Structure 1
Amino acid sequence: MRRGYHHVIQGFPNCVVTDGVINFFLARTEKVQQVGFDPRLARVAHLEFFIDGLGALHVGSCDDVIVNHATKIRLPWISQSESDKTYAKFRYPPAASDATQTKNGLLFFKNRFQCLTHN
């Protein structure tokens, strides 16, 4: 998977056109409905949503817009609360979980993938 973007958005020097974004996005309801989103994959299929939306979504990313959402950075001197630990089990299922297995199976089936690699 190549990291990067297609081009800078004219008039917005800190924004680029890309195929997908990580972790957080805003979208028009009609566009999300047009692409579709499998509710079984709500927590695990972010990348798959953008793959399904190739050619239909116009995706922009701005490096001067920051949303503090579900950070994966953990400071060692701050302990996790019990509710944080419970949320983490729900939000970040292990690779062998049913949700992750379903995600991978559907991704390969829907897109006729036979193999996939990344760095």
Structure 2
Amino acid sequence: MHDTLLFTELVHRLNLDDGSAEEAPDRVGVLLRRWQGRDLDPPYVLHVDPLTLGEHLRSMEAISEVFPDTTPEIGALRLLLVHIEEAVETAPEGHRHLVIGPAGVYAQPDAPPRTDRSV
């Protein structure tokens, strides 16, 4: 699946289960305004662009087998959603910037430096 389609699918799935998410301008991230029925004000920001998302999901395909009923990319996306849930639910006060790392998603108080990879 193309990286842009994976990004669109991520935003779509973040809108399920009483959530509200939208692409940030220029696809440099995703704004999470509501999470499982809970308003997030100010919104959380998942710092990811389509290229970075695609690379990360492909790196997770080997462990995506925990979701055997789907393709490896979608299995990896579902696992990423679990990591996002863990980060949102355990984020300390003021840690609204979500960053994808090698072992999950981390909540930080500040935005990471911009890499402009999506340009």
Which TM-score band applies after superposition, normalised by the shorter structure? under 0.3
Q: Relative CO higher for 1 or 2, CA cutoff 8 Å, sep ≥ 6?
A: 1
Q: Give the structure with the higher percent strand.
A: 2
Q: Which has the larger radius of gyration?
A: 1
Taking structure 2 as the reference length, the TM-score comes to 0.26
Relative to its length, the structure with more helix (as a share) is 2
